A and B are shown apart, each in its own frame.
Chain A
Amino acid sequence: MNKYDEDLYENNFFHQIQNQKKDVVNQAAQNGWVICVPKFSQTQGVVIKDNDILDHILQPVLNKQCDSRDNFISLSGNEACINNGVIKLCKGYQQQIEVQILFEETFHTEEDESFRVICIENFFNKQDKPKEEGATPPPSSRRLTSYEQCLDILWSHSGGKKARDNLDKMLASFAVSYDNLEGESIRNIADVAASQFTKAMQTLLKDSVVRRSSKHSPEYRESLKVAVETYLMNSIHKKLFRVITASLASQDAEINKLTRNMIDLQLQDMGIRKVFSQNIPPAKKELSKLNQYSTPLGRLFCIKRVVASLTRPSRQSSQSSSEDSLMTTDDFLPILIFLIIKSEIPNWLANLAYMQHFHLAKSNSDDEFGFYLASVEAALEHIKSGQISEEVITKDKLMFERWQPLTLAESYKDEGIQRQSSTNPNAIDEFFQYVQLGDEAAVLKMLDNKCTEEIYLKLCHPLCSCDRCERLLAKNRLDSSLVTALTRDDRGYTALHVAAYYGQARLIDILIKYGAIVDATDYLGLTPLHISCQKGFQNVMLLLLHFGADVSCADNDGNTALHLGAANGHEDCLKGLVFYDNKRVDVNMKNDMGETPLHMAAKWGYDVIVKTLLENGANATIKNRRGQTPISLAQNIMVQRLMVETRSQMIVKPQKVAVKKKGPKVKSTSGLKESSVTKGKDTDSNYSATSYITETLHPTTSSMKKQQDKLFQAVTTGDIQLVKFYLGIDKNLYDSDDEDDEKQQLHTGLEEKLCHPLCNCTNCSSLQNPGSVNRKYNLINCQSVTGYTPLHLAVMNSHYDITQLFIEQGAVLDVSNHKNLTPLHLACFLQHKQIIQILLEHGANVHKTDMNGDTPLILCCANGFYRGVQMLLQYGANSNHSNVKGNTALHIAVEREQDDIVQVLLQCGANPYLTNQYGKTVVDLSKDTRLFPMVKHFCQLNEQGLERDKLSKEAHSVKDVYAGLEEKKRKTLKEITTSIRKFDRQHELKKTTTKTYGEPYLDGDLAMMLSIQHFDHRSLKHVESMDRGEPLYIYTLAKAAAIERQAILNKHSTDKHHSSENIDGCIADKYDPSLSTDVSNGVSGKVSGDELHVLASKSYSDQEKN
């Protein structure tokens, strides 16, 4: 850059050569002579003589001993050489100086012959005579390098102040409009900026002085453009660049996620040659300043400096390796990719766009920038394509395959041949390779440690101690092929680390079964959980969590798994961690740099993660060591806004936010938890809360309204096929007789197929298919204007099959309509036994009241519906609930003279002494009726055991009540008890069903949280984890073995000829062969003594606690 250029045809000197020395030019073309031409300004007013010309025409000298330089001899016989951009004058010249080469041009004659013309700074043979002129080069001819220079050129002339004021005014008015540009495409923003630039130029050129000098000097014009751009961009770049960043935020976040996950990329992975490695750190340093430059030009120069520092010749390479140190694009591109990945710049695309489209003062010499920009673009494109990680993986695999045949051949070798560990791959490496590739069978085989057993088979006798047997045993003890789940590699990784690193979820289970430590740390303090979060393997992470991995464990830099997940942009892992157990995870945990996970997510622009963290109580105002809050770190304006909003909400009404954000989640989870145990009132609040959420979250659109009306119509007419169609249920699946079973099978089948409720790998997401599910559940729980759900309608029209269908499809059971009637109310009113049964079985709330305060029980009593009363009481209906008039069910029943009902109610603990609005008890009411004797009798009965009844009224089981019934009811009683038994069983069965059906129409996050918490932990085999490397462990084992040995010794006390060692072997053989290896080698193989384990782990954990 900053290259001098002139048209040589205008040059006096060259002109003269061309005109007067045509023969010389021809000779030059034929013989490869070089013509040196002093620059234009030097030749002015100088009389050029013939020998001047001869001095400036150089002939190449071939095969001189010092071949390191391009040596020449001038036509006048003087020596010169060209090296490194200068011409060095040697023997013969008056002054032996170095003359700067300005540029070189190759002339092609019409005969297609060529000669070189070099434009030089001064004459070779003249004193610095013209220096006066060139000593003070006009500022305009220099390339501007600083902001001050720009200001100088802009305002130093007369009238500059006025122009500046005008420009400032224009900029001020324009800066405002940049806010409106947000969300526009880059192209539009660039156009706006360009028009702004043009306007600025116009303003400047109004000044006559500027106009004149710019007309006369193109250099000045160029400089002026650069100056204007610098001034313009310097004043608006903050806003402008933010707008650009915002419009590219999501793409940048994508790239960031990719680069973060490649952070451990090595130079060799990219195929970068060693020669360049030492130039990379300074280049990296240079690149890290990129965001500090305000103008596009500044950033371009920054990139140029990066390239320059990359290509700086290294000190060492001046010797032999120099021929390789030439940096071609083959080398340059990988290095650039590497630098971009390693750079800490979170907004590469925005930077690229800024440099590409907002460098407005384009000039011809920007070709080089164009190339660098294209290279950066190509590098980013390559990163985006995701090929790099693939390359690395395939490379790993290739490496493995390369030596695998060797090991296979090895294993066939005779056992007796000693292994040469130096040449053969390590067994540990092999084991780790298997883990990496997820080869379950191979891993199992290696862990099972077959050879131990084989050796015992080869011994003469398990107790034999002859030389041969001893040798075999000794060899086995020293055998390097022994691996355990605790083996570590040169990074301190255990097999569990490797499995987490490569996402081998199935191996996690196996490894832990073989005693791997869940929270083992490598040299950097990373646990497998850290690694799984770093790599984004959610399934591995969840498995580790279920095996009790420590969430708050920090690595050597103080990073928790949450930090790593946030830095690498793994939403799924992060959500898993946050939702898994809110209490245990501290989202505001700081690392050694004082950064919270929110800092990291904000910096790299992962909006979803930022949102998740904020919703779970992350604080956006925490400062890191550098005093930066997540808000100030965020490049992405959307993310920034998100955090600012949350903060302001917290400040203005902290309570409301807490209720809004935390309330429903916490409440409903606790509600569902309890509901799986007892169906109390919590369930009620839970359902109402969630139904409220679904309603508000999915406002009904007009198209949905139509769909609703159709559904209601179908329900009213009882057309189950049509209903199924509207709900999008596959007929074939549900038309079979054993609908229930199939449905359950399907559901459980789905759960089994899913890796985990949270998992959203390609497999699972297609299974979950949230789109159709949402549609279905939305429709099934929709409400008409009067608050009726399809379920209400089905019950109202006594369509048992449709009711059943709705319940199976997850309809909310306890939705109230505008009269506060639930479907259960309607069913009781209509006295539809079957429907009541199914509603109750699926957990319909019996305590709900309608607008008159009537519970379903009161309704049944009013209708004299004996069977209904029985069922409701069985499901825990409160017989003493009073409606708005203060009447209990008993009041109503007595009033209606329903003697059987009255009897059941009284037996179920209905209190006959409760008064209604008019102050009347049941006893008072019954006085006028024939029921009075019965009530009276019951009261007397009760009075005797009143205290007891009062205390344990609720605890009375239905069975107990019926035990005291009279003879005449015995027949009904029998029938009912059997049915109770039956119902109870079914109840148990259905309970889980209710739970799972209830889930899907919860708010998405809630459902996820619930499903994590309700994820069947039993399906994950729990394994006691312990550190078998712990000396205590061996000690316990040894102790246990010693006891055993003592016992055997006692037994064989007479056989004195057995040595203790042989006894050892005997025990081992008899009880557990590998146990003895455990004791002797201090490493574990397959161990079956469960009790010993428990013992060991207990003592170990005690030790830990202490």
Chain B
Amino acid sequence: MAAHSTAGGRNYNFKCVLLGEGCVGKTSLVLRYVENKFNEKHITTLQASFLNKKLNIGGKRVNLSIWDTAGQERFHALGPIYYRDSNGAVLVYDITDEDSFQKVKNWVKELRRMLGQDVCLCIAGNKTDLEKDRHVTVAEAETYAASVGAKHFHTSAKLSRGIEELFLDLSKRMIEKADEDSATKNNKSGANSRRSVVVVDDEQPTQKSGGCC
């Protein structure tokens, strides 16, 4: 991946993992975000477990790799394989399903235990289009999110609500975190850690696009 740098422009490469019980709409959420599609007949790629999204936030280029995880309970133990080295996590629950919110709490606990404060968390209460069946109260969810240092969003993949905001906020926080890290490490962060920022070389920007011998 080529990266022509501009003055002050930086490239970020973030890994973001989607966690949550099955059927809470993790995949719909990410598909709506990346492909702007919901339950449509024309999905260009059927594979929806790994998706890329490029963002440009105030001149900062962010490449977001979104990893979907298996929601089945039997695969719970495999979580660490997916979420290790991730910069952010989106924890999705279904507002009509109290259990799925409990599951989110478990995930948060596990993530904090395994990754500490390095990971930015977002909690998404999905399916707000089914507000009338709501079983998880807004207050409860928001206080919980605040208590664990996560942001809470009300989303609806069906109505495309709150999703872009969620990922934008997450990206901003991940940028912040990355900037902080690189500042404290005094740019020492090598290429060994995925968490580190990919600092583009300081070569003079040559406009020649790789003319070959």
> A215-B203, A326-B27 known; A139 and B212 CB under 8 Å?
yes
Min distance, Cβ A779 to any Cβ of chain B, angstroms: 46
Interface residues of B in 1-49 (CB under 8 A from A): 1-6, 9, 13, 15, 22, 26-27, 31, 39-49
Tell whether, in the assembled complex, residue B210 and residue A364 are in contact, meaning their CB atoms are under 8 Å apart. no
A157 adjacent to B70 (CB under 8 Å): no
Is B164's CB under 8 angstroms from A365's CB?
A: no
Residues of chain B within 8 A of A110, CB atoms compared: 58
Task: Let me know if B78 and A213 touch, CB within 8 A.
Answer: no
Interface string of A129-153 (1 = CB under 8 A from B): 0000000001111000000000000
List chain B residues, Cβ under 8 A from A1003. Answer: none
- B46 and A326 form a contact (CB under 8 A): yes
User: Does B2 contact A218, Cβ atoms closer than 8 Å?
Assistant: yes
Query: Which residues of the partner chain A approach B75 to less than 8 Å between Cβ atoms?
Result: 333, 378, 382
**Smallest CB separation, A373 vs chain B (Å):** 9
* Bound Cα distance from A331 to B213, whole angstroms: 47
- Interchain CA distance A308-B70 in the complex, whole Å: 19
Q: Closest B residue to A387 by CB, please name it.
A: B74
Q: Is the CB of B55 within 8 A of A311?
A: no
Does B102 count as interface, using CB distance less than 8 angstroms? no
Does A7 contact B41, Cβ atoms closer than 8 Å? no
Q: Give, as a whole number of angstroms, the nearest-CB distance from A849 to chain B.
A: 68
| Cβ of B53 under 8 Å from chain A | yes
Query: B103 contacts which chain A residues (CB < 8 A)?
Result: none
Residues of A within 8 A of B57 (CB): 108
Q: Cα distance A7–B13 when bound, in Å? A: 14
**Which of B61-69, B132-140, B146-154, B178-186 lies at the interface?**
B61-69
Are the CB atoms of B52 and A367 closer together than 8 Å? yes
Which B residues are in CB contact (< 8 Å) with A363?
1
* Of the residues B13, B43, B45, B208, contact of A217 by C-beta under 8 Å: B208
B residues in contact with A140, CB < 8 Å = 210, 212
Q: Is the CB of B27 within 8 A of A328?
A: yes
| Contact present for B55 and A9 (CB under 8 Å) | no
Residue contact B70 to A311, C-beta cutoff 8 Å:
no
Q: How many contacts A-B (CB < 8 Å)?
A: 176
Contacts of A308 in B (CB 8 A): 47
Q: Contact between B206 and A216 (Cβ–Cβ < 8 Å)?
A: yes
> Is B106 among interface residues, defined by CB-CB distance under 8 A?
no
CB-based contact B56/A105 at 8 Å: yes
Tell me how far the C-beta of B12 lies from the nearest C-beta in chain A, rounded to whole angstroms. 11
**Does the CB pair B209–A141 fall under 8 Å?**
yes
Cα–Cα distance between A158 and B213 once the two chains are bound (Å): 9
Q: Roughly how many angstroms separate A59 CA and B203 CA in the complex, as a whole number?
A: 39
B206: chain A residues at CB < 8 Å are: 216
Alpha-carbon separation in the docked complex, A311 to B49 (Å): 11
Tell whether A328 pairs with B26 under 8 Å between CB atoms, given A5-B1, A311-B45: yes
A338 vs chain B, min Cβ distance (A)? 13
The answer to whether B59 has its CB under 8 Å from any CB of chain A is yes
Assembly CA distance A550 to B42 (angstroms): 59
Identity of the chain B residue whose Cβ is nearest the Cβ of A276 in the assembled complex? B46
Q: B168 to chain A: which residues have CB within 8 Å?
A: 108, 112, 114
Question: Among A139, A209, A325, A329, which residue has the most Cβ atoms of chain B within 10 A?
Answer: A329
Number of A interface residues in the complex (CB < 8 A): 76
Interface residues of B, dominant DSSP:
loop
Cα(A636)–Cα(B77), bound, Å:
29
A330: contacting residue among B46, B70, B207, CB under 8 A = B70
The smallest beta-carbon distance between B55 and chain A, in angstroms, is 5
A121 to chain B, nearest CB (A): 15
Complex CA distance for A311 and B44, rounded to whole angstroms: 10
B209 near A327 (CB under 8 angstroms)? no
Also in contact, A368 and B50, with CB within 8 A (given A84-B44, A108-B168, A311-B45)? yes
Q: Most B CB atoms within 10 A — which of A5, A85, A112, A326? A: A326
* Residues of B close to A68: CB separation below 8 A: 41-42
Q: Give the distance in Å from the alpha carbon of A139 to the alpha carbon of B201 in the complex.
A: 22
Rounded to whole angstroms, the CA-CA distance of A363 and B3 in the bound complex is 12
Closest to A4 in B: B2
Q: Counting CB contacts under 8 A, is B72 at the interface?
A: yes
A385 and B59 contact, CB distance less than 8 A: no
- B114-138 CB contacts (< 8 Å) to partner A: none
A158 to B77, CA, bound (A): 54
A219 within 8 Å of B (CB atoms): yes
A391 B74 Cβ-Cβ under 8 A: yes
Shortest A267–chain B CB gap in Å is: 15
Closest to B39 in A: A323
- Asked if A730 is an interface residue, CB under 8 A from chain B, the answer is no
Let me know if A40 and B209 touch, CB within 8 A: yes
A117 to B61, CA, bound (A): 13
CB proximity of B82 to chain A, nearest CB, Å: 6
Say yes or no: B52 contacts A332, CB within 8 Å: no
Give a binary string over A27-43; 1 marks a CB under 8 Å from any B CB, 0 the rest: 00000000000001100
Mark each residue of chain A from 317 to 342: 1 if its CB lies under 8 Å from any CB of chain B, else 0. Answer: 00000110111111011100000000
Q: For the complex, what is the distance from the CA of A107 to the CA of B54, rounded to whole Å?
A: 9
> B59 to chain A: closest CB distance in Å?
7
Question: Shortest CB–CB separation between residue A146 and chain B, in angstroms?
Answer: 18
CB contacts under 8 Å to B, within A368-411, are 368, 370-372, 374-375, 377-378, 381-382, 385, 387, 391
Instruction: Please determine whether B165 and A112 come into contact, CB atoms closer than 8 angstroms.
Output: yes
Given that A68-B42, A332-B47, A381-B81 are contacting pairs, would A213 and B53 also be in contact in the complex, using a CB cutoff of 8 Å? Answer: no
Chain A residue nearest to B47 (CB atoms) is: A311
Which residues of chain B from 81 to 106 have a CB within 8 Å of any chain A CB? 81-82
Q: B198 an interface residue at 8 Å Cβ cutoff?
A: yes
Residue contact A5 to B67, C-beta cutoff 8 Å: no
* Cβ-neighbour of B4 out of A6, A311, A391 (below 8 A): A6
The contact of B54 among A103, A310, A381, by CB within 8 Å, is A103
Known: A110-B58, A216-B206. A330 touches B72 (CB 8 A): yes
Given contacts A7-B6, A105-B56, A108-B56, contact A329 B70 (CB under 8 A): yes
Q: In the complex the two chains form, what is the Cα distance from A117 to B53 in whole Å?
A: 12
* Chain B residue, CB-CB nearest to A366: B1
Task: Determine if A7 and B61 form an interchain contact, defined as CB atoms under 8 angstroms apart.
Answer: yes
Expressed in whole angstroms, the Cα–Cα distance for A41 and B27 within the complex equals 36
Is A157 a contact partner of B213 (Cβ separation < 8 A)? yes
| Interchain nearest-CB distance for A316 vs B (Å) | 14
Q: A104 is contacted by which of B3, B54, B65 (Cβ under 8 Å)? A: B54
Check A216 against B210 for contact (C-beta < 8 Å). Answer: yes
B78:A378 contact, CB within 8 angstroms: yes
- Of all chain B residues, which has the CB nearest A325? B46
B164-213 residues with Cβ-Cβ distance < 8 A to A are 164-165, 168, 198, 201, 203, 205-213
Q: Which of B9, B47, B65 contacts A9 (CB 8 A)?
A: B9
B56-A106 in contact (CB<8A)? yes
Residues of A within 8 A of B59 (CB): 9
User: Is A6's CB under 8 angstroms from B2's CB?
Assistant: yes
A687 in the interface, Cβ–Cβ < 8 Å? no
Contact with B along A555-574 (1 / 0, CB 8 A): 00000000000000000000
Q: In the bound complex, do residue A374 and residue B67 qualify as a contact, i.e. CB atoms below 8 Å apart?
A: yes
The answer, yes or no, to whether A313 is at the interface (CB within 8 Å) is yes
CA A217 to CA B15, docked complex, whole Å: 26
A6-B4, A364-B198, A374-B81 known; A106 vs B49 contact (CB < 8 Å) = no
Closest to A104 in B: B54
A75 touches B (CB below 8 Å): no
Query: In the complex, what residue of chain B is closest to A382 when comparing beta carbons?
Result: B78
Pairs A-B, 10 closest by C-beta atoms: A217-B210, A329-B49, A328-B27, A311-B47, A378-B78, A311-B46, A138-B212, A371-B50, A367-B65, A105-B54
Question: Could you pull out 6 A-B pairs where Cβ atoms are within 8 angstroms?
Answer: A213-B212, A310-B47, A323-B39, A328-B49, A330-B22, A387-B74
Q: Which residues of B come within 8 Å of A, CB atoms?
A: 1-6, 9, 13, 15, 22, 26-27, 31, 39-50, 52-59, 61, 63, 65, 67-72, 74-75, 77-78, 81-82, 164-165, 168, 198, 201, 203, 205-213
Besides the contacts A156-B213, A323-B40, A367-B65, what 17 more A-B pairs have beta carbons closer than 8 Å?
A: A7-B5, A7-B9, A8-B56, A10-B205, A138-B211, A141-B210, A218-B201, A219-B2, A311-B45, A329-B27, A329-B49, A363-B1, A364-B13, A364-B63, A377-B81, A378-B78, A382-B78
